[in-house]
Structure 1
């Protein structure tokens, strides 16, 4: 399968930073043991059942270390995989495979963990109108990585950052003095952007509707209040449920009729998906690598 390596520049930057952090001045263990011209083959294996995401990111890690690495897979992004299943075959310069291994697996494990948890939420609301959204509660420096994983798990992205949508929350409203004042200031400053407001009560919902706001967040409202908000809005604005959503509660929230359910846990609490790299074979030179310094 041909992998799409046209990754977002922020993801490529994250890979470069991760490699710089891990490799530093060089992989002293691999470089002391593995001859420069040795080649090897290995496989990346799923150690659990779940949804795979980030094979193209793992591929990019290997290619950044050495463009001669060959990375092949028959597994599609977002596919469900079984424990013990081979996710990819990797071959090429042995030093590159061993040096890139941990960074590649870190990205693949994190992204697959996010995708697996996201799919559980998506499956839980199947048959309702609700869309599962992520939040900005991502790992620092990995915003685009985490949000790509959510999409591959079947969820959708909320705003990417503070720049691409106006989201007026409780502290903004309190500072402005009223919901109306906050909305008016935001429209004057960024008339080209959509606006969402956080509603803490049904009165806030009514005021947001009167102001023509097209997206309203129902923050930590009860199921009854959310259902009433759905009746009140009657399709005139998009309603998003938010706050302490879990796998145990998400179905009941979806059944109130809200359009979106945003869940911070998708990216801040997803367990890492267990993957490993297994050695298959090598073609090593009989000549040991050169060493410098005193034996330890």
Structure 2
């Protein structure tokens, strides 16, 4: 029986021009390149320029994705932006992206699930498309985490960077099997009992300030491998695929130790995983689409490739999406 699938038509990314290396960080906080690389795998990250906002990054990434998709912005009827660092408290950063792209119909809104935001946004867009409410969507992950970092806290300021990535989804009729193109399965989860392990110590209704990112790194790591591996297995069960049948894993780029731990738990070889952490740092909701774009540009993704995306973020939130390119 024919079904509607959300097919990825295009992918794009944008990184700010300024590169902040570990050596640069060592000049402003008590750290070193060796210390950062050993504990995280990160060597450098990009930092947004003064006046460069999350929406600016998102617009640039989305424009590239639209060009690659060969789709005119006037044909887009849904824009979702996953971000934890919006331009303003309101309106949504997505409406500024919508306006910047020249999209004038449908809906635009933000999704806030921190590092899992892009997985959440893909899942939401997919459900809207499958329901028939929308035909074509731009899904953006964009962050300027440099604006919420405590630059005197070496345990957090070394981890994060700025950037944006985007995909264009289109409703297409498929035959209704696991061989279809498009999003085949997704799972999203959350557990608010762990909110105090990764959070920002500010907000409009609590402190009336933006606040800074705070994290219990050891506890986050302890939960990450288990929760990510679990949701990947749940997602694969939905289609009957085994971990070794996936062509490419595109994970949230948080920490090399987490990536290695998930690989070991699933028995996946290192050559099947996309790693951009060393060059981008942790870009939260932007990390998966940035890595997806890098894999596309490196010709690691071809039509028919099975791609699994996964993430875990503050909340805790976590999830996975399996798609055939």
Same-fold call, TM > 0.5?
no
Larger radius of gyration: 1
More strand by share: 2
